[in-house]
Amino acid sequence: MSKKEVMKAVADEVKACRKCKLGETRTNAVPGEGSLDATILLIGEAPGYWEDVKGRPFVGAAGKLLDTLLSETNLSRSTVYITNVVKCRPPKNRAPSPIEVETCTPYLKRQIKTVQPEIIVTLGRHATSYVFSKSGIKEAAGITKLRGKIYSVKLFGLPVSVLPTFHPAAVLHNAKYKDPLKHDFQLLKTLVAKSQQGH
Ligand code: SF4
C-alpha cells in the first residue's frame, strides 16, 4: 500500500472507532493532517472543543498560536504532519486516561511509521511520555525540565530527533510559557536547517 492508502485507512478506522469511552462522547474523531512526506511530525495531546466540532487538529486558539510558531520557523501546516496522542476529545478537555492512551496509540504508531519523520515535536506531557516510553527513555522529570532539548532516539526502528516542548494551550492559560515555547520553535528551526544541510 502507498503512504496515502495507509493513512486513509488509518483515518477511516479512527473515524469509525469506538474502542474506548471517548468514542461515545465525541462529535468528530480527529485523525490528523498534513504532508505524508513531512520531515517534522508534531504530536499534541487530544482534540479540544473546536477540533471536535471540525474534525481537524489544532483549529482553536491553541491552533492559531501553533500556526504563528510554525510560520516564525519558516514552516507551514502543508509541510508538517500534525496529530494527537488520542484522536477523540476527552469530555471537558480532561487529560486522557492511561487506558485511553493505550487503546488509541496504535493509530499514532502507524502514522509515525508511515510518515517516517526525522524530527518529532512533542507538545506537552502526554505526547512526550508516549514517545519517550516507546523510545526506551526513562522519563525522569516533568515537561518543564525535559523541554527545549533534542533527544536522538530510535522510535519503532526509525532514527528520530525528539524535541519536547509545552503544549500551545498551556500558554493560553499561563503567559509564562510563551517565551520558552518560542525558544523551542527557534531550536526547531535550527534543527530543520541542519537536517536540510544533511540532504
Ligand atoms: S480515542 Fe482513539 S481509541 Fe478511543 S474511540 Fe477515539 S479513536 Fe478510538
All 3 cell numbers of residue 28? 468528530
- Supply angle C-alpha 134, 137, 141, rounded to 5: 120
Give dist(CA 79, CA 150) in Å, integer: 21
Q: What is the pLDDT of residues 87-141, one digit of tens each?
A: 999 999 999 999 999 999 999 999 999 999 999 999 999 999 999 999 988 877 8
Predicted local confidence at residue 54, as pLDDT: 97
* Closest residue CA from atom 4 of ligand 1: 20
89 lines ligand 1 (CB under 6 A): no
All 3 cell numbers of residue 193? 536547517
Predicted local confidence at residue 137, as pLDDT: 87
Give dist(CA 80, CA 40) in Å, integer: 5
All 3 cell numbers of residue 18? 469506538
- The parts of the chain modelled with pLDDT lower than 70 are 199
- The answer to whether 166 and 181 are in contact (CB under 8 A) is yes
Burial tier of 57 (Cβ tally within 10 Å: 0-12, 13-18, 19+): buried
104 lines ligand 1 (CB under 6 A): yes
Domain residue limits, the chain:
3-197
Pocket test of ligand 1: the residue of 15, 17, 21 to mutate, having most ligand atoms within 8 Å of its CB, is 17
List, as one string, the DSSP characters of 18-39. Answer: -SSTHHHH-SS----EE-TT-S
All 3 cell numbers of residue 83? 496529530
Contacts of 140 (CB under 8 A, 6+ apart): none
Predicted local confidence at residue 199, as pLDDT: 67
Predicted local confidence at residue 56, as pLDDT: 97
H or E stretch at 58: none
Cα 14 to Cα 11, 32, 122: the distances in Å are: 5, 10, 21
All 3 cell numbers of residue 138? 526513562
Cα 108 to Cα 20, 58, 112, 139: the distances in Å are: 15, 16, 6, 20
Q: What CATH homologous superfamily does 3-197 map to?
A: Uracil-DNA glycosylase-like domain (3.40.470.10)
The alpha carbons of the chain give a radius of gyration, in whole angstroms, of: 16
Q: How many separate helices (H) and strands (E) can be counted in the chain?
A: 9, 6
18 lines ligand 1 (CB under 6 A): yes
